[in-house]
Amino acid sequence: MKVAAFALLAVVTTSAPLQCGGKNADLELRREDTAGDALFALALKFKNEGNSQSAKATLEYLIAQYPSSRRIEAARDELRALGGSAGSSANAPSP
């Protein structure tokens, strides 16, 4: 009985990465927003309100603190469009 329970536990725990999608999961299919998503949305809100300084600071923070975010390329593009340097995070505010 203990052997069967252990075997079942081993099967379940080793298949967990497959259930979660692993590294190849389509990031656009996520159902919940991440911190990077929220920061990107906030930066766009600032931009649409004409507050480009806050939009730049938010994008720089996003790039510096969440480099693996699914919004990173869009954040870099937006930062370039606002006249910022997408590769630099020197002006990013600290948390």
What is the predicted pLDDT for the residue at 26? Answer: 61
Provide the residue range defining the domain that includes 63.
35-81
Count of CB atoms within 10 A of residue 53's CB?
9
Q: Which pLDDT tens digit goes with each residue over 8-64?
A: 555 555 555 544 555 555 656 667 789 999 999 999 999 999 999 999 999 999 999
Is residue 61 exposed (0-12), middle (13-18) or buried (19+ Cβ within 10 Å)?
buried
77 located within any domain: yes
Contact yes or no for 67/35 (Cβ under 8 A): no
Residue 74 maps to a domain: yes
Domain total in the chain = 1
Domain assignment of residue 39, yes or no: yes
The pLDDT tens digits for 67-81 are 999 999 999 999 999
